[in-house]
């Protein structure tokens, strides 16, 4: 049986930096309030006319990852694109990247698991490689949040959190045991789906109808989040799914060299870090400068950690995510 390993990583974020002070000029908020609750200092937003979209950012990150894997786009056998913010309702971002990168008629699969999207996509890629069906799989997480946020005081509880960006990884077949993706662990609990959700635009809530019916009311085509409820569930599920992965591989928290958590909230990451008794050098956080980039957050953080030498050959790397659905998951990797 084959194993899969990450052979290339890349990320891209827009140049436009939006600070907490910038947001305080358009809504009733301030730097202290945002940092105390989220840890975020700034984020990147697509700027009108800069040529960026969910798919174009994904393609830019993918190009870097493929080059670092010493491959060409012709070597990719499958694209898996994770996002909650596709360029259009359909088709998805995978085929858009395929066109932009002039790829062959390979399959393109979109994953809609929001904050857990990248971990779910890694798991899918890993299974395809382990069965021998594909050799090189391109996994992308990309988000354009700024295009769909309520940038007013009404929406500040959600809008201050999210940023735009993309990350990508190439998973490649390996015949070495004990390296690469050791295991992945996925879960969901649909009972809490509405606690972090976007009801429209959808087949149940097309925009013109919503505008007509809710002109002066809370508009359901902006994201809704029950923040405290999500936080309480996140810290529990993060810990459970990390422990599940460690136990499946006869490992303990002391074996972790680097934990890359989904960048949902710095307070959640710090809580999990304390639970597992990990040092600052064993956890990588970059939400302070990028905000929550949902499906892109883990690949962006993973790439940065690797680029700065914080991840080395032989290290045990744990990826963990929790988000809308509720969905959550972990991936245990030996670098």
- Per residue in 26-39, pLDDT (tens digit) is 999 999 999 999 99
What integer pLDDT is reported at residue 207 of this predicted model? 72
pLDDT attached to residue 217:
62
Mean pLDDT of the region 316-332 = 96
pLDDT at 7 over 70: yes
**What is the pTM (predicted TM-score) of this model?**
0.94
pLDDT of residue 214: 63
- Three-state SS letters, the chain: CCEEEEEEEEEECCCCEEEHHHHHCCCCCCHHHHHHHHCCCEEECCCCCCCCCHHHHHHHHHHHHHHHCCCCHHHCCEEEEECCCCCCCCCCHHHHHHHHCCCCCCCEEEECCHHHHHHHHHHHHHHHHHCCCCCEEEEEEEECCHHHCCCCHHHHHHHCCECCEEEEEEEEEECCCCCEEEEEEEEECHHHHHHEECCCCECCECHHHHHHHCCCCCCCCCCEECHHHHHHHHHHHHHHHHHHHHHHCCCCHHHCCEEEECCCCHHHHHHHHHHCCCCHHHECCCHHHHCECHHHHHHHHHHHHHHCCCCCCCCEEEEEEEECCCEEEEEEEEC
| Residue 213 in this model has a pLDDT that exceeds 90 | no
pLDDT confidence tier of residue 215, bands split at 50, 70 and 90:
low
Summarised one tens digit per residue, pLDDT across range 151-201 is 999 999 999 999 999 999 999 999 998 999 999 999 999 999 999 888 877
At residue 204, the pLDDT reads 77
Q: What's residue 1's pLDDT?
A: 78
Active site residues: 115, 262, 292
Write out pLDDT tens, residues 252-281.
999 999 999 999 999 999 999 999 999 999
């Amino acid at each position: 049986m084959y194993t899969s390993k990450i052979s290339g990583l890349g990320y891209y974020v827009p140049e436009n930096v939006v600070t907490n002070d910038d947001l305080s000029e358009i809504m009733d908020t301030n730097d202290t309030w945002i940092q105390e609750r989220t840890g975020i200092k700034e984020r990147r937003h697509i700027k009108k006319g800069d040529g960026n979209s969910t798919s174009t950012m994904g393609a830019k990150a993918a190009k870097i990852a493929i080059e670092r894997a010493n491959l060409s786009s012709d070597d990719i056998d499958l694209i898996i694109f994770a996002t909650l913010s596709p360029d259009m309702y359909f088709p998805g971002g995978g085929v858009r990247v395929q066109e932009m990168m002039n790829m062959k008629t390979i399959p393109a699969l979109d994953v809609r698991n929001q904050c857990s999207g990248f971990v779910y996509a890694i798991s899918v890629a890993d299974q395809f490689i382990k069965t021998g069906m594909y050799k090189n799989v391109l996994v992308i997480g990309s988000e354009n949040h700024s295009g769909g946020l309520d940038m007013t005081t009404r929406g500040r509880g959600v809008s201050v959190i999210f940023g735009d960006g993309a990350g990508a990884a190439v998973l490649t077949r390996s015949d070495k045991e004990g390296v690469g993706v050791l295991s992945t662990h996925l879960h969901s609990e649909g009972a809490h789906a509405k606690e972090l959700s976007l009801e429209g635009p959808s087949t149940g809530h097309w925009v013109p109808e919503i505008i007509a019916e809710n002109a002066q009311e809370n508009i359901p085509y902006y994201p809704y989040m029950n923040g405290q409820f999500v936080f309480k569930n996140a810290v529990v599920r993060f810990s459970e799914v990390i422990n599940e992965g460690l136990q499946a591989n006869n490992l303990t928290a002391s074996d972790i060299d680097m934990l890359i958590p989904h960048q949902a909230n710095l307070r959640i990451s710090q809580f999990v870090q304390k639970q597992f008794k990990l040092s600052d050098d064993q956890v990588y956080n970059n939400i302070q400068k990028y905000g929550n980039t949902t499906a892109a957050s883990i690949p962006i953080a993973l790439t940065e950690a690797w680029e700065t030498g914080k991840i080395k050959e032989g290290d045990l790397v744990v990826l963990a995510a929790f988000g809308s659905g509720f969905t959550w998951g972990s991936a245990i990797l030996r670098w």
